Amino acid sequence: MLFKDRKEAGRILAARLSAYAGRGDVLVLGLPRGGVPVAAEIARALGAPLDVFVVRKIGAPQQPELALGAIASGDVRVVNWYAVDALHISPETFNEIVARERTEIARRELAYRDGRPLPSPNGKTVILVDDGLATGATMLAAVQALRQLGPARVVVAVPVAAADTCAELKREVDDVVCAATPEPFYGVGMWYQDFTQTNDEEVRQLLNSPT
């Protein structure tokens, strides 16, 4: 399956999520930036509120691709202390990394919502949306962070993903909806005709548009 763009991908994915339409307990959260245009189409189709869930990986010093945990919207922090100890990372260094990522989350939240707080996910069915999943590391961090806020159910929804990543996430959440799991996968951008990077202003406009 080849998607024209993120909007079309969102509409196709929304059809797979029709069971969640018209329910008062559903909240749709897009991962910035590329997940927000997809999430906007889903929220519109389901008649559900839309917002953004900003998550930042806590990368190891000298190995930023190695996740020590994540921080996210709602001042949530999830840390793999075993990895921190195993790498002999000092508290000072760890706190510096966290402070840097908190600054970026604060910048993005100000840019996206003008200081509005994250709608409470407590007791809600939350649909976490991205434009695709390769390794799934960012989505997993988002799921772990979101769980700290007390949702009743967590649903991961993406237009395209590696099949093994979808399978892994199914062990972590209540439902996973992947519109396509092509083999071989190659990468998320391969399955879009237009995979232009979404910018902060586009995210802001989508969040401030009526669903």
By CB atoms closer than 10 A (0-12, 13-18, 19+), residue 119 is middle
Instruction: Considering the domain delimited by 6-54+115-207, tell me its CATH architecture.
Output: 3-Layer(aba) Sandwich (3.40)
pLDDT, tens digit, 9 for 90 and up, residues 39-55: 999 999 999 999 999 98
Token representation of residue 5: 């763009």
Give me the residue label for tokens 């695709």.
Answer: 132
Residue 113: the pLDDT is 82
Q: Tally the C-alpha atoms within 13 A of residue 166's C-alpha that lie toward its C-beta.
A: 20
pLDDT of 211 = 55
Task: Specify the pLDDT at position 127.
Answer: 98
> Angle at which helices 91-113 and 200-207 pack, to 10 degrees?
60
Where b means 16+ CB within 10 Å and e means fewer, 88-112 reads ebeeeebeebbeebeeebeebbeeb
**Pairwise CA distance, residues 15 & 198, whole Å:** 23
Residues of the chain with pLDDT below 70 are 210-211
> How does the average pLDDT of the chain come out, rounded?
91
Q: How far apart are CA 3 and CA 159, in angstroms?
A: 9
Do the two domains 6-54+115-207 and 56-113 of this chain adopt the same fold? no
CA angle, corner 111, sides to 121 and 169, nearest 5? Answer: 40
Quote the pLDDT of residue 210. Answer: 64
Spatial distance between the Cα atoms of 70 and 145, rounded to a whole number of angstroms: 7
pLDDT value for 35: 96
Architecture of the domain defined by 56-113: 2-Layer Sandwich (3.30)
> pTM to 2 decimals?
0.88
Domain ranges of the chain: 6-54+115-207, 56-113
**Helix, strand, or coil (residue 56):** strand
**Which DSSP category does 42 fall into?**
H
Of 4, 78, 67, which Cα lies nearest the Cα of 41? 4
